[in-house]
Amino acid sequence: MVPPLSRRGVLAGAASLAGTGAVLGSAATAASAASAASAATAASAGTAGSGRGADRHRGTTAVFRDVRPYGSEKSVDLTVIDGRISDRPAPRNARIIDGGGRLALPTLVDAHIHPDKTTWGGKWITRKPASGIADYCAQDVEVFRTEPRSVGERAYGLMAHAVTRGTRAMRAHADVAPAYGLKGLEGVAEARERLAHALDVQIVGFPQHGVIRTPGTAKLLEDAARSGLVDMIGGIDPISFDNALDEQLDLVFRLADRYDVGVDIHLHDRDDRGVKVLRGIIERTRALSLHGKVTVSHVFCLTKLSEAGLDTMAADLGALDIALTTVAPNESLVLPIAKLKAHGVRVGLGSDGVRDSWSPFGNADMLHRTHILGWVTDVRLDDELDDCFTVGSHGGADVMHLDRATLKPGAPADFMLLRAECTPQVVVDMPQRDMVVHGGRIVARAGELV
């Protein structure tokens, strides 16, 4: 009898857990040059559904008085004009909001989440033992068929909750498979529309059941790309799960190239199979000139490479502007962020699954995820805690090709106000987000959407 596997066990694979070496450091704070490069490729990076249109926040003017950006000793007034921080005098009709001396921090970006699967806000479900991804997929289908709420309702509940916890944007993976058709994508798109004032969302058509091993999935992915439902086409473990390396990657990259969307592939393998897949992704990105349009999620194989091997791989990823995401599941599976960023690789942080058939855990609170990142990497210095926050804020923005919310003139007015002394304390204590602001508009107060 095969013993039940935890979700973490499935993601980790059969290999023994080994240390990753340095994970964070001063290099985790991305350079301004990387931000500029990110913005330069945004127009062609499959971000059409991000919701950050040029006119979305036109006319939004406000002054947030008595706030302390990043915990500065001296409080200031943040002026917002047309949804962005400004150093110009506020218009006479600007709304005045009292910050009460609260700390002001950028809101966060969830670079990897699965809102279509969630049971958040509903009745408790009892999960069954599972011995692999296929078993989890079967339980996903059962939840889909038995949940009284639609995907759109469930996704909206979770995504709205994320907003109240200070999330400004997310990349949402939604399952595409014959068991669902395009209903998962349509549900997440519905939730995105309802939250367009408060949250920027990119949608990935994710073939959780496999691209090749599940007949009919390839056509559904093309239907999704052709219809404009997705900003990106996904993939999953082309060798170990789909058993079709070239077929899966060729299909995914062909769709991305043909329909001008991005790519975001789940890669859980920690051995040579993962490295082989990553090399295949690099080759196709180069061949099709998809620089800046490809992301690989999890990428556990990087944690097994030698220092020299990691340098070589990171250099290739940086040269092609291939982004990576991590969900910080444990110390040995967290990406070596500092090393990757030294080579110009964009790295974001995400929630992954939240209260679904895979796991009862998760809360879509990205501040909590920065706390987890610090916890599993055993950081203790203020600079290290600052770096954890930066990965959750600017790292995710870079991955999604969004402007960084730096609280400086010209930056999007996406920030949160909290009662705390400094950023490191916020990462550790995770205080209530008293106010969440998106594009200069208050979208949540004291944990409630407004």
Q: Which residue has the tokens 């990205």?
A: 366
- E strand or H helix that includes residue 247: helix 245-259
**Count of other CB atoms within 10 angstroms of residue 305:** 19
434: exposed, middle or buried (C-beta count within 10 Å: 0-12, 13-18, 19+)? middle
pLDDT at 306 over 70: yes
pLDDT at 36 over 80: no
pLDDT band at 21 (very low <50, low <70, confident <90, very high): very low
Across all residues in the chain, what is the average pLDDT? 90
- Phi, psi at 65, each rounded to 5°: -90, 150
Residues 209, 242: Cα–Cα separation, whole Å: 9
Among 356, 448, 437, 450, which Cα is nearest to 106's?
Answer: 437
Q: What is the crossing angle of helices 245-259 and 272-287, to 10°?
A: 30
pLDDT at 57 over 90: no
CA end-to-end distance (rounded Å), the chain: 51
> pLDDT digit string (tens) for 78-113?
999 999 999 999 888 899 999 999 999 999 999 999
pLDDT at 6 over 80: no
Residue 10 vs residue 145, higher pLDDT: 145
Q: What is the crossing angle of helices 183-194 and 151-164, to 10°?
A: 40
pLDDT at 38 over 90: no
Q: Are 236 and 204 in contact (CB under 8 A)?
A: no
pLDDT at 401 over 80: yes
Q: Which residue has the tokens 């500065």?
A: 72
Is 5 strand, coil or helix? coil
Strand partners, 167: 108
> pLDDT digit string (tens) for 244-298?
999 999 999 999 999 999 999 999 999 999 999 999 999 999 999 999 999 999 9
Residues 77, 17: Cα–Cα separation, whole Å: 49
Compute CA 57 distance to the chain's CA centroid, rounded to the nearest angstrom: 23
Is 396 strand, coil or helix? helix
pLDDT band at 60 (very low <50, low <70, confident <90, very high): confident
pLDDT at 10 over 70: no
Residues 48, 188: Cα–Cα separation, whole Å: 15
> pLDDT above 90 covers what percent of the chain?
85
Least confident of 45-54, 315-324, 414-423: 45-54
Residues 414, 192: Cα–Cα separation, whole Å: 17
AA identity, residue 274:
G
Among 230, 88, 170, 130, which Cα is nearest to 352's?
Answer: 170
Is 385 strand, coil or helix? helix
pLDDT band at 3 (very low <50, low <70, confident <90, very high): very low
Residue positions counted in the chain: 450
pLDDT at 39 over 60: no
Is 257 strand, coil or helix? helix
Q: Are 354 and 366 in contact (CB under 8 A)?
A: no
pLDDT at 29 over 70: no
Provide mean pLDDT across the span 3-14: 42
Least confident of 34-43, 46-55, 325-334: 34-43
Residues 63, 67: Cα–Cα separation, whole Å: 10
pTM listed for this prediction = 0.90
DSSP 141: H
Residues 310, 335: Cα–Cα separation, whole Å: 11
> pLDDT digit string (tens) for 170-213?
999 999 999 999 999 999 999 999 999 999 999 999 999 999 99
pLDDT at 55: 62
Provide mean pLDDT across the span 309-318: 98
pLDDT band at 52 (very low <50, low <70, confident <90, very high): very low
Residue 35 vs residue 80, higher pLDDT: 80
Token readout for 225 is 């790309």
Residue 30 vs residue 432, higher pLDDT: 432
- Phi, psi at 148, each rounded to 5°: -70, -25
Compute CA 195 distance to the chain's CA centroid, rounded to the nearest angstrom: 17
pLDDT at 34: 39
**Count of other CB atoms within 10 angstroms of residue 448:** 9
Q: Which residues touch 227 (CB under 8 Å, ≥6 apart)?
A: 182
Provide mean pLDDT across the span 366-376: 98
pLDDT at 121: 95
pLDDT at 59: 77
Q: Are 280 and 249 in contact (CB under 8 A)?
A: yes
Strand partners, 95: 62
Residues 119, 357: Cα–Cα separation, whole Å: 8
Provide mean pLDDT across the span 314-341: 97
Residues 399, 109: Cα–Cα separation, whole Å: 9
